[in-house]
Chains A and B, each alone.
Chain A
Amino acid sequence: MFVARLSLAVAAILLLATGCSSSRTAKVAVKDHKDRKKAPEFALKDANGQTVHLSDYRGKVVLLDFWATWCGPCKIEIPWFQEFERQHKDKGFAVIGVAMDEEGWDVVKPFAKYIGINYRLVIGDDTIATLYGGVDAMPTTFLIDREGRIASVHVGLSGKRDFEDEIQALLRDSSTSVSAGLVRAK
């Protein structure tokens, strides 16, 4: 009995350590350039009251994550995104978290502080949700290429490796954009 329980515990740890890759909802590949559509522009306030436009990030690969504090699967992905931000921010990559909590910063700020989120957060609304296809479920994550086009969409808890592979592919894809001085976001 003890061995069975131990095995289950080890399996759960391995599952988390590998980013749930063995049970991910779907493997999502980066779309071909010709199939990518322009990511809708938005203007939302960050925690400091500064307006964030997607166009501020032109020239960077952007991971745009729709999440909420009440969303359990989102909490699995957030540490991955923190790691991606740390690993790739100097290569022209940025994470933007769009919190969809109705209570806004009152709940998002304490949560972000508790978790130690190291990337930029904005509060979402119906307008941005509609622009991005409704966002009926969370997490919903868009990977946007350096030209501001949607390269992939993940709905639901995905695999860390899938995200990593796609980010690497997008960073390789058009690294010349960075050296051409197109990066404007801080």
Chain B
Amino acid sequence: MFGQSSPILTVAPPQKVVARRNAEVTAKISISLGDGYHANSNAPHESYLIPLKLTWTPAPLAVEAVTYPKAHDEKYQFSPDQPLSVFTGNFDITTKFKVPADAAGGITILPGKLRYQACNNTMCFPPKTVDVKLPVEIR
């Protein structure tokens, strides 16, 4: 309901997080890449490659840090000498939020966007942006 999918990359619907005013809260976004596909990591080795990036529309929470998993270096048919920094398979991205002291209580949806560019061993797919909707309960 809250996640969106493509045949290549799937974002699982995030679980609701409960946040207390003037405290920190961490949300986990679970991502799955299909077999044989990879996405550039958040820090590709080459400047021309498009990094995977999760961004949030922060209000009513403030984004403190987005933490990506450790990427791994892989060689592909089209890059036999230069390994690429990629994500494959299942992985999580965590975001640490700060809840303002004056945040309104109740349940809200925090919108985010996951941008990525994926390839397999012989072809690449145009960059995509997936909407991510994080349910947040502020107490």
CA distance A136 to B123 in the complex (A): 10
Assess whether B79 is interfacial by the CB under 8 Å rule. Answer: yes
Assess whether A71 is interfacial by the CB under 8 Å rule. Answer: yes
Assess whether B76 is interfacial by the CB under 8 Å rule. Answer: yes
Assess whether B84 is interfacial by the CB under 8 Å rule. Answer: yes
Question: What does the 1/0 interface line of B85-128 toward A look like (CB < 8 Å)?
Answer: 00000000000000000000000000000000101001111110
The interface size of chain B toward A, counting residues with CB under 8 Å, comes to 18
CB proximity of A160 to chain B, nearest CB, Å: 13
Chain B contacts for A73, CB-based, 8 A: 77-78, 119, 122-124
Q: Is the CB of B124 within 8 A of A23?
A: no
**A–B pairs, 6, beta carbons within 8 Å:** A25-B123, A68-B124, A70-B117, A72-B124, A76-B78, A107-B48
CA distance A72 to B84 in the complex (A): 10
Chain A contacts for B80, CB-based, 8 A: 12, 15-16
Q: Is the CB of B126 within 8 A of A74?
A: no
Q: Is the CB of A157 within 8 A of B48?
A: no
Contact of A157 among B49, B117, B123, B125 (CB under 8 A): B123
Residues 63-111 of A contacting B (Cβ, < 8 Å):
68-76, 100, 102, 107, 111
CB proximity of A53 to chain B, nearest CB, Å: 25
Q: Is the CB of B123 within 8 A of A155?
A: yes
Residues 6-47 of B contacting A (Cβ, < 8 Å):
none
Interface size, A (range)? 20 to 34
Q: Is the CB of A72 within 8 A of B127?
A: no
Q: Is the CB of B126 within 8 A of A25?
A: no
CB proximity of A174 to chain B, nearest CB, Å: 31
CB proximity of A81 to chain B, nearest CB, Å: 15
Contact of A68 among B78, B84, B126 (CB under 8 A): B126
- With A23-B77, A70-B127, A76-B78: A156-B122 Cβ-Cβ less than 8 Å: yes
Assess whether A180 is interfacial by the CB under 8 Å rule. Answer: no
Q: Is the CB of A138 within 8 A of B123?
A: yes
CA distance A75 to B122 in the complex (A): 11
Contact of A156 among B49, B50, B123 (CB under 8 A): B123
Assess whether A137 is interfacial by the CB under 8 Å rule. Answer: yes
Chain B contacts for A12, CB-based, 8 A: 80-81
Assess whether A20 is interfacial by the CB under 8 Å rule. Answer: yes
CB proximity of B48 to chain A, nearest CB, Å: 5
Q: Is the CB of B122 within 8 A of A25?
A: yes
Chain B contacts for A69, CB-based, 8 A: 48
Nearest residue (CB) in B for A9 is: B81
CA distance A71 to B117 in the complex (A): 9
Chain A contacts for B48, CB-based, 8 A: 69-70, 107, 111
CA distance A107 to B122 in the complex (A): 23
